[in-house]
């Protein structure tokens, strides 16, 4: 009889224990569900489109978008993966970018490397072909960063939102705008009503750009110089011949001789241009108002990083 009661007691203890464990398990499950529900999906708005990120945006990979490289440098952000130029990170980007891992060159992303980095978000470029974009989207949520200079504020704020440095981005924007306002009148007087043009030598040829591309917004929108007709008519990057440039006859000429690609070809092209009799008759050349690589030739122009350096360079033109 005693054994029977002991057996019943053991059964009761087991039932109570199992019930308690079941209840505890249910509590843990409820806690996990509640935790998942509490974890908000990160939402970021960029150029009128909203993006959602379930795993945050801590691990950033930059590919193709040199604008994003400059924005990361401006905010001291270290992407887990970034673009190299000729196999290296250019010194101009600073120490933060130097800590990143190379994911290939500007137009040659290494998809295997990007995948291995397990990015939360990939920053590509609006210049990428559709097939490249599809491959990137298979790896992680992808945002195509605008290459249009007039989107420079949105681009910087995007990097700020992704990296948790939006306040720093807004502070830098306000500081730059204040600097422009402070120096605008002085810079306009420096050039007066003169015809000012910027061009770039790449692939051994001279190119001009529309009003909202390259450094043109800095010259014509921010400093407030008159826009040459040839710039108004440009629809994209357009080649300009020596004869066409002579017709424009700028009083001030900014020339960026591209150091990427075939550097020697570009430098040789510029040396030949200087010797060209037609070029020598252009007012900017006759008056020594030609500014070659006023800033690093790698800079895109349409970023805060570029604009800060260009504004400083223009302020110091007379000191050279």
**Pairing mode, strands 101-102 and 81-82:** parallel
Is there a single domain that holds both residue 105 and residue 219? no
Classify residue 299: in a domain, yes or no.
yes
Average pLDDT over the chain, rounded to an integer = 89
Q: Which domain holds residue 58?
A: 43-167
Asked if the model's pLDDT at residue 219 lies above 60, the reply is: yes
CATH code where residue 288 lies: 3.40.50.1980
The verdict on 291 and 231 lying in the same domain is: yes
- In terms of domains, do 83 and 116 share one? yes
Range with the poorest average pLDDT among 39-48, 99-108, 176-185, 217-226: 39-48
pLDDT-based confidence at residue 262 (cuts at 50, 70, 90):
low
Kindly indicate the confidence band of residue 197, based on its pLDDT and cuts at 50, 70 and 90: very high
257, part of any domain = yes
The residues with which 41 forms a beta bridge, in sequence order, are: none
Q: Is the domain of 134 the same as that of 194?
A: no
**Residue 39: predicted pLDDT:** 57
Residue 14 lies in a domain: no
Is there a domain that residue 183 lies in?
Answer: no
Give the pLDDT score at 258.
87
What pTM was computed for the model? 0.84
Q: Are residues 264 and 221 in the same domain?
A: yes
pLDDT digits (tens, 9 = 90+) for 272-301: 998 999 999 999 999 999 999 999 999 999
- In a domain? residue 180: no
What's the number of domains the chain is made of? 2
Q: Are residues 196 and 304 in the same domain?
A: yes
Same domain, 249 and 158: no
Binning the chain into helix, strand and coil, the percentages to the nearest 5 are: 50, 15, 30
Residue 149 in domain:
yes
Residue 11 belongs to some domain of the structure = no
Q: Is residue 24 part of a domain?
A: no
DSSP 149: G
- Residues 8-65: tens digit of each pLDDT: 544 544 544 545 555 555 555 555 544 444 457 999 999 989 999 998 999 999 999 9
């Amino acid at each position: 009889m005693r054994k029977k009661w002991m057996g019943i007691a053991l059964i009761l203890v087991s039932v109570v224990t199992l019930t308690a464990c079941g209840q505890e398990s249910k509590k843990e499950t409820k806690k996990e569900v509640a935790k998942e529900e509490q974890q908000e999906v990160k939402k970021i708005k960029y150029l009128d489109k909203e993006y959602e990120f379930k795993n945050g945006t801590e691990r950033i990979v930059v590919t193709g978008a040199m604008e994003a490289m400059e924005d990361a440098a401006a905010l001291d952000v270290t992407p887990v993966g970034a673009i190299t130029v000729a196999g290296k990170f250019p010194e101009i980007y600073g120490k933060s970018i130097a800590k990143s891992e190379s994911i290939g060159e500007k137009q040659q992303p290494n998809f295997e490397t990007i995948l291995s980095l397990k990015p939360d978000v990939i920053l590509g470029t609006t210049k990428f072909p559709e097939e490249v974009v599809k491959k990137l989207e298979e790896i992680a949520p992808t945002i195509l960063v605008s290459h249009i200079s007039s989107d420079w504020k949105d681009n910087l704020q995007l990097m700020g939102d992704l990296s948790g440095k939006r306040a720093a981005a807004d502070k830098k924007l306000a500081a730059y705008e204040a600097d422009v306002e402070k120096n605008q009148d002085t810079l306009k007087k420096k050039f007066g009503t003169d015809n000012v043009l910027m061009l770039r030598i790449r692939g051994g040829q001279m190119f001009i750009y529309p009003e909202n591309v390259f450094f043109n917004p800095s010259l014509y929108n921010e400093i407030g110089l008159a826009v040459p007709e040839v710039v108004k008519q440009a629809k994209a990057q357009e080649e300009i011949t020596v004869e066409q440039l002579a017709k424009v006859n700028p009083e001030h000429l900014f020339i960026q001789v591209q150091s990427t690609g075939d550097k020697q070809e570009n430098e040789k092209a510029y040396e030949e241009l200087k010797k060209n009799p037609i070029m020598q008759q252009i007012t900017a050349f006759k008056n020594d108002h030609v500014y070659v690589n006023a800033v690093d030739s790698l800079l895109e122009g349409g970023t805060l990083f570029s604009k800060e350096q260009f504004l400083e360079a223009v302020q110091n033109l007379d000191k050279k």
